[in-house]
Copies of this chain bind each other. A is one copy, B any other.
Amino acid sequence: MSDAFKVALAGLGTVGGGVVKLLLEQKDVLKKRCGWPIELAAVADLNPDRARALGVPETTAFYTDAREMVEKTDADVVIELIGGADGIAYDLCRSALGRGKSFVTANKAMIAHHGNELARLAEERGVFFGYEAAVAGGIPIIKSLREGLVGNRISEIYGILNGTCNYILTVMRETGRPFGDVLADAQKLGYAEADPSFDIDGIDTAHKTCILGALAFGMPVDLAALSVEGIRSVADTDIDFAEELGFRIKLLGVGRRCDGGVSLNVYPCMIPQTAEIAHVDGVFNAVVVEGDFIGHTMFVGRGAGERPTASAVVADIADAAMHRGLPLLNVANKEVRPVAIVPLSERVGEYYVRFEVDDRPGVVADIARVLGVNGVSIASMIQRGRRPDGTVPLIMTFHRSKESAVTAALSEIERLPCVSGKPCMIRIERL
């Protein structure tokens, strides 16, 4: 082995390109901080032009077949930046671990789907496995959770984990424009994909939330445990009323210890404007951790993009180079404990609901009666303005109630003749 730590990098897309730039630009700084040089020994990409465009040194081996690179390279660590839960990324990962190579990835989908298996494989082979970039981009949240907060039992972890959604919600609030328009603009600007479903339907947030949940609660990675709602149904009207009621709407991944186990969910929610996280806007991400010793703590930063994600990938490379590995799920696999998942229907909390109702006497009484029968108590109410079709939005917030009671009441109210369409319900989180 030469006296450099050798890196083999698969995938020269946005993030891969950022990692190459970082390793080249900060070569001297990294050598000083890590104690030995980090050398880009090999890269793989379907497109050979990308390596040239990035200025990859002549001495770096180039492969168009990433699998071949992993088989042939003598690198100390394999970096997978191709993406996707399965397919080539997953193959590379198993191949690298099988060869006893350290492995670093930004692939949240793969960890969310195969984290438990990969944890076993990494432990069997005794190799370093880094995935700092998989959650919240540049924010060192995995490290903070596993190392900085090592002495804490975590009661709650939640965050703004998808920059696309946060950008859309921020622009909707700032401009008053509806979801569809803002999404279309975000697509033009490159902040949202042509097929935006992965982001706006909360799937990306769910991947990250189940990873955070595993680390925070010592449980296996369990994507199926999550209820997932995205932001498609958040109307500009709701954003306006949220402001008026002293809230902001954010898409959060929320993990919480509660009676009977752990709840892990993704949903848009209203949070008080006085909460710091309410002011995390645009493409920024934030993660809040509540620990029994540290108390409340929050981490904010860019959750995506070439350079912030590269920052996180290189933090893992430095850890690998300095032999600072930890088990993938923080503790040895035999210490990972399944926990009971408390479904969202058991949530006890406050709620915001918007009904579209006929503008005539008796409507509020009808709705209030159904709520009362279901044990749901009204905390506040706003009614104002009439739509061209004669309906008006009727806004209510409910005191702390069980979600199953709220759901039952809403499905009954939906059938009242004075109510048009499905009531829009947004959970309130007093963070």
Contacts and interface: CB of A to CB of B under 8 A. Distances in A.
A152 B292 CA distance: 31
Given A298-B299, A302-B297, A315 B150 contact: yes
A148 interface: yes
A interface SS class: mixed
A319 interface: yes
Contacts of A139: 148, 297
A323 B335 CA distance: 21
A153 interface: yes
Contact of A310 (B35, B274, B293, B307): B293
B310 A30 contact: no
A88 interface: no
A315 B151 CA distance: 6
Contacts of A149: 140, 311, 315
A29 to B, nearest CB: 6
Contacts of A314: 150-151, 293
A125 interface: no
B315 A148 contact: yes
A190 interface: no
Nearest to A143: B148
A295 B300 contact: no
B301 A298 contact: yes
Contacts of A297: 138-139, 299-302
Contacts of A35: 332
A308 interface: yes
Contacts of A308: 293-295
Contacts of A291: 311
Nearest 3 CB-CB pairings of A with B: A140-B148, A151-B314, A297-B301
Interface of A: 18, 22, 26, 29-30, 32-35, 132, 138-140, 143-144, 146-153, 218, 274, 276, 278-280, 284, 291-302, 305, 307-308, 310-312, 314-315, 318-319, 322-324, 326, 330-332, 335
16 contacts: A22-B151, A26-B293, A29-B151, A30-B151, A34-B150, A138-B297, A147-B324, A148-B315, A292-B307, A293-B310, A294-B311, A296-B302, A298-B300, A298-B301, A299-B300, A322-B326
